[in-house]
Structure 1
Amino acid sequence: MKYLIAGLGNIGPEYALTRHNIGFMILDRLASEHGFKFSFEKLAYVAEWKYKGRQFVFIKPTTYMNLSGKAIRYYLDQYKIPQENLLVLVDELQLPFGTLRLKAKGSHGGHNGLRNIEELLGTSAYPRIRFGIDNNFSKGRQVDYVLKPFTEEEFITLPLFLDKAGEMVLSFCTLGIQRTMNNYNQ
């Protein structure tokens, strides 16, 4: 059983701790906790790890958020991973900060990273964990909001939510999507 876990974000130190990089943060937290390391490869930073008889391929696309689908399509093909074993980790403006939702499919909802994945996979039917980043911005300021770091208050509780998101990733791959949704969706 092979799984592709794609954390969405933007490369570069200026984006490292921004809301839009929550997918990278979740994967970095998992790597730190379980001792696997990322290396720079074609279109992404990649790490492989085995857990409970499953092979995980983690990617942090280097294509920037809006072209995330290019790296995902490449690694699905490269490792011959079925689309139902893809899990995308993404920020979500429509959920309160720290709220986590696993979905089997859904629209891109205006998220350019998800839009590109949908275009390149030819479907919106792929699992994703949406990590709530809230929508506390004034009209027309969405880009500024998602590209800013979390607040000091948010940083205090962020590790708890990153850990929970990591648990959801492992549960998705070992228990399946339905049981994981039942156990974790708030």
Structure 2
Amino acid sequence: MAKKHLIVGLGNIGMEYADNRHNIGFMVANELAKQASVTFSTLRYAYYAEYRQRGHGIYIIKPTTYMNLSGKAVNYWMHELKIPLEDILVIVDDLALPFGKIRLRSKGSSAGHNGLKSIEALCGGQHYPRLRFGIGDNFPKGRQVDYVLSGFDNDELMELPQLIERSVQMVNSFAHVGVELTMTQFNR
């Protein structure tokens, strides 16, 4: 039987958030959809797109609930599509990783990320894969919110397309060979 995967790009809706660090999940989801030649529709709690690749059903969502309520969208779509938690891949910005580092994990804590906290609370725990996209932590004490809601600097913008492309390759690998083999291949 063909496997189904739910790919969740985390971010915030609205033009004021479009190119900020917190929206890297949306950026990767957009590139994934572009490469698959599909477009997003506005459906319940999310922008939604789907396609088939190598016999697998790939479902992409970008929650329209804002970051802090991402779990509401993920919970709805995992039940609507009947996709188990371990076949959901969440793409998320990560302050703990330097810019340019991308790590796939099969599970883990929210590390204080409000989008992941919401998913944990509403979807049954921490046992879902996540693609952690490093955005660095170059901000003064107490200015974390301003930093994650800011745009990438000029040097980062030069590197961003290749990092997004690498993320798309990791998502495709996850869908075809699973989290463990993808981690082995890409987490260097």
Whether the TM-score (by the shorter chain) exceeds 0.5 is: yes
Q: Residues 159-178 of structure 1 correspond to what in structure 2 (within 5 A)?
A: 159-178=161-180
- Of 30, 35, 38, the match for 2:32: 30
Distance 1:73 1:150 in 2: 30
**CA drift at 1:98:** 1.7
Q: 1:183 aligned to 2:181?
A: no
Q: Deviations over 1:93-137 (max 9, x none)?
A: 000102111001101000000001000112111100000000000
Q: 1:88 aligned to 2:94?
A: no
Task: Specify the SS of the correspondent of 1:37.
Answer: coil
Q: Deviations over 1:36-68 (max 9, x none)?
A: 110100100000011011001100000000000
Distance 1:61 1:120 in 2: 14
- Of 146, 149, 152, the match for 1:147: 149
**CA drift at 1:30:** 1.4
Task: Specify the SS of the correspondent of 1:81.
Answer: coil
Task: Specify the SS of the correspondent of 1:88.
Answer: strand
Q: TM-score, normalised by structure 1?
A: 0.99
- Aligned residue in 2 for 1:72: 74
Moved >2 Å (runs of 4+) = none
- Aligned residue in 2 for 1:102: 104
- Aligned residue in 2 for 1:114: 116
Q: 1:125 aligned to 2:127?
A: yes
Q: Across the two proteins, how many residue pairs are aligned to each other?
A: 186
Distance 1:63 1:16 in 2: 15
Distance 1:124 1:31 in 2: 26
**CA drift at 1:82:** 1.2
Report the residue type matching 1:82 in the other structure: P
Task: Specify the SS of the correspondent of 2:47.
Answer: strand
Task: Specify the SS of the correspondent of 1:125.
Answer: coil
Q: Deviations over 1:126-178 (max 9, x none)?
A: 10000000000000000000000101110111000000000000100101111
Task: Specify the SS of the correspondent of 1:164.
Answer: helix
Report the residue type matching 1:99 in the other structure: K
Report the residue type matching 1:80 in the other structure: K
Task: Specify the SS of the correspondent of 1:56.
Answer: strand
The unaligned stretches of length 5 or more in structure 1 are none
- Of 42, 48, 51, the match for 1:40: 42
Distance 1:3 1:48 in 2: 10
Distance 1:41 1:34 in 2: 19
- Aligned residue in 1 for 2:159: 157
**CA drift at 1:8:** 0.1
